[in-house]
Structure 1
Amino acid sequence: MEYTRAKAICEAIEGLKDGAVQEVQLSKMLSIDVSRLFTIGGSPRFELYKTDFGWGRPRKVEMTSIDKSGAFSLSDCRDGNGGLEIGIVLKKHETEDFASLFASGLQVH
């Protein structure tokens, strides 16, 4: 099923040739399960930890809007060594599943 969705997206993109927008088969795009899509909020290029409004740099930066939007948040790391902070909001059981999968993924690599 995932292959079918990927193929539909690929075909829709291929329908856009030479920068000219041609008719896209809307039915293929609408068949994509939107619950599988996600969005990203923020960017490490914003360098939020370098922001200083007169009382010093922030200790922690969080994007609260991801609670309602379901997006991931991205920001630079406070220590400034080029790292990346990723924020995600999940229900408790989803957080436990995510933590388990993340830890096992780290062990593999």
Structure 2
Amino acid sequence: MWNEPCKERLSKIPKLYETEEIPLKDKLIYLHFFVGGCDWYIAEYDGNDLFWGYAILNGDFVNAEWGYISFSELKAIKVEGWLEIDCELEDLWRVRKAGTIDKIRI
């Protein structure tokens, strides 16, 4: 994985179910992972291996959905044996509401 988020950055993400009462469009997105036409937007983290967020696979916006995402599985993904998942750098990704992210609004 390129630019794997540090423990300090991960510690800023709310724990699983902490934002359960917040409408989806208002949930804060703390991390953005991507490779090719795939994007994962992270809103919650269990502190171990499980994220909760929004996933778009292969640019398929019709079937994109909110759900659980394994951090270890993201780290293990390699496209064609060499291209790895990237996490947008902290100074490039600002935490923002899901409803303000174009790919989630689609």
TM-score of the two chains, using structure 1 as the length reference? 0.21
Higher helix share: 1
Question: Which protein has greater RCO, CA pairs closer than 8 Å, 6+ apart?
Answer: 2
Structure ID, larger Rg: 1
Higher strand share: 2
